[in-house]
Amino acid sequence: MHTDTERCVRAVRSKDARFDGWFFTAVLTTRIYCRPSCPVVPPKPQNMVFYPSAAACQQAGFRACKRCRPDTSPGSPEWNARADTVARAMRLIRDGVVDREGVPGLAARLGYSTRQIERQLRAELGAGPLALARAQRAQTARVLIETTDLPFADVAFAAGFSSVRTFNETVREVFALAPGELRSRAARSAGPAGRTTVPGTISLRLPYRTPLHPSNLFGHLAATAVPGVEEWLPRGSGSADGGPTGAYRRTLRLPCGHGIATLAPRDGHIACRLALTDPRDLTHAISRCRWLLDLDADPVAVDEQLRTDPLLAPLVDAAPGRRVPRTVDPAEFAVRAVLGQQVSTAAARTHAGRLAASHGTPVDDPEGGLTRLFPAPEALAGLDPDTLALPRARRATLTTLTAALVDGTVTLGPDSDWDEARARLRALPGFGPWTVEAVAMRGLGDPDAFLPTDLGVRKAAAALGLPATPAALTARAAAWRPWRAYAVQYLWATDNHPINRLPD
């Protein structure tokens, strides 16, 4: 979009927050870059230039605006809707792969040379992988500076910087403030009461594009929560996390340790609190939480497309902004999808809870009832299928899946090619269309995944007058592409099922 100057100027003049993250405005006279919705008086059009990423702005010598804080914009929805090399690279960079494995590690995961990755990212985003990772490190550093009391040396290494000197230089260059000045400004903004962060945790806000309808998003996560791994903290529970609506909590398996995330819907943002055993995991934890809640989606574009169907339009108008509830770990969701085949939501929770209790890694949670990490595929590889209270065929499906995940026959992650992952899952015994598409929708994040054989979808289709058979429904749903996964959320919402409402 940044190449359409006229459209960008209109968005900046109208301060349209829908375009935050789509592009960034750099002002030639002040050498500052902003998000489109920046509250200051817009500069003259001849003084504006537009970039596709914050990293490109920083690389061109612009510093972040102190008013609109463009580094905290929602991520570009481009990386949600695409599965090409650039989109997969951006998802991996967002997960911190460059900080942990370098550019060669990023290229190896994608199956390209470092030169090819560099060329493709520069062509589309105006910056290479190192510059993109540097911009993300600066953002992570800012979160740690403003929300914790960690010494700056610890902040530097936790954010992924190789030295304290590089950390200081980058923070000064990007934000035009020293780390100490950033912390002081944050303390003044918090007021006399100061920060209310629980010791040992990091509290932050996760922005999103409005509208957002939280009922099906958090309702689905709460209704399918695995005991010990996930929980719903009700409102009025005596904890600030519960707030006026309640909060969803779950354990996280992270590259350097583990953590616990507490997520609660608020007006204009998601309140997020992270308890991490290693602060180096902050970037990855934030990325996984945003992915889980589909916070980088463009709901206006999705809903406009679905409204073109006269049978879906009333559902969209009644509750716009539905998101697709995803997962923090695609491999975990694949296992849970197998456990949920042809059983109720409650039965699937029971099966998953037993598996977690028997094979999950224990964790401490002083604030709630979380006790386990969901077992990794390696922990399930040697599982005795006779110990599972499942039909024989489903036991075979589960053990085959875990073996394929361990040996690399099936790879599920932010770098996955959606079509290839589908093909490999279909080759496993017991993986029919419903399971494959469920993993594609919630595990891999394909916005066009579709479940025409799902019971809830078929019931909703019959009630709305849509075609009843899977083949006919799939043909009708071609008009909903590339947002069929969101259409599924609107169809599911027609039923009075716990996944469609926040717990009381």
Q: Is residue 178 part of a domain?
A: yes
Are 422 and 435 contacting, i.e. CB atoms less than 8 angstroms apart?
no
Question: In terms of domains, do 107 and 24 share one?
Answer: no
* Confidence (pTM): 0.91
Tell me what pLDDT residue 77 has. 85
Q: Is residue 147 part of a domain?
A: yes
Question: In terms of domains, do 90 and 183 share one?
Answer: yes
Q: What is the mean pLDDT of residues 422-426?
A: 97
Tell me what pLDDT residue 472 has. 96
Question: In terms of domains, do 83 and 186 share one?
Answer: yes
Per residue in 431-488, pLDDT (tens digit) is: 999 999 999 999 999 999 999 999 999 999 999 999 989 999 999 999 999 999 999 9
C-alpha distances in angstroms, 218 versus 46, 71, 118, 274, 430? 45, 26, 38, 18, 29
Tell me what pLDDT residue 80 has. 80
Q: Is residue 34 part of a domain?
A: yes
Question: In terms of domains, do 63 and 87 share one?
Answer: no
Are 14 and 33 contacting, i.e. CB atoms less than 8 angstroms apart?
no
Residue 196 has pLDDT above 60, yes or no: no
Tell me what pLDDT residue 62 has. 95
Tell me what pLDDT residue 336 has. 96
Instruction: Give the whole-angstrom CA distance, residue 392 versus residue 470.
Output: 27
Tell me what pLDDT residue 198 has. 66
Question: In terms of domains, do 110 and 165 share one?
Answer: yes
Q: What is the DSSP letter of 232?
A: E
Q: What is the mean pLDDT of residues 295-307?
A: 94
Tell me what pLDDT residue 502 has. 85
Residue 199 pLDDT grade (very low, low, confident, very high; cuts 50, 70, 90): low
Q: Is residue 295 part of a domain?
A: no
Question: In terms of domains, do 53 and 86 share one?
Answer: no
Contacts of 347 (CB under 8 A, 6+ apart): 340
Tell me what pLDDT residue 195 has. 53
CA angle 279–284–288, rounded 5-degree value: 130
Residue 242 pLDDT grade (very low, low, confident, very high; cuts 50, 70, 90): low
- For the chain, the residue count is 504
Are 429 and 396 contacting, i.e. CB atoms less than 8 angstroms apart?
yes
Total domains present in the chain: 2
Q: Is residue 112 part of a domain?
A: yes
Could you say which of 72, 91, 115 is where a domain stops? 72
Question: In terms of domains, do 38 and 129 share one?
Answer: no
Tell me what pLDDT residue 376 has. 95
Contacts of 486 (CB under 8 A, 6+ apart): 302, 306, 322, 323, 324, 447
Percentage of the chain beyond pLDDT 70 is: 97
Could you say which of 32, 50, 72 is where a domain stops? 72
Question: In terms of domains, do 104 and 18 share one?
Answer: no
Per residue in 333-387, pLDDT (tens digit) is: 999 999 999 888 999 999 999 999 999 999 999 888 899 999 999 999 888 888 8
Tell me what pLDDT residue 18 has. 83
Are 196 and 202 contacting, i.e. CB atoms less than 8 angstroms apart?
no
Tell me what pLDDT residue 385 has. 81
Tell me what pLDDT residue 197 has. 58
Question: In terms of domains, do 66 and 85 share one?
Answer: no
Are 56 and 127 contacting, i.e. CB atoms less than 8 angstroms apart?
yes
Residue 193 has pLDDT above 60, yes or no: no
Residue 93 pLDDT grade (very low, low, confident, very high; cuts 50, 70, 90): very high
Residue 239 pLDDT grade (very low, low, confident, very high; cuts 50, 70, 90): low
Tell me what pLDDT residue 187 has. 86
Tell me what pLDDT residue 241 has. 63
The CATH number linked to 50 is 3.40.10.10
Q: Is residue 448 part of a domain?
A: no
Could you say which of 72, 99, 122 is where a domain stops? 72
The CATH number linked to 110 is 1.10.10.60
Q: Is residue 223 part of a domain?
A: no
Question: Any idea which residues carry the catalytic annotation?
Answer: 34, 454
Structural domain span for residue 104: 78-190
Question: In terms of domains, do 138 and 57 share one?
Answer: no
Q: Is residue 392 part of a domain?
A: no
Q: How far is CA 119 from the centre of its chain?
A: 26
Question: In terms of domains, do 51 and 68 share one?
Answer: yes
Question: In terms of domains, do 61 and 94 share one?
Answer: no
Tell me what pLDDT residue 366 has. 86
Q: What is the mean pLDDT of residues 116-125?
A: 93
Residue 157 has pLDDT above 80, yes or no: yes
pLDDT averaged over the chain?
91
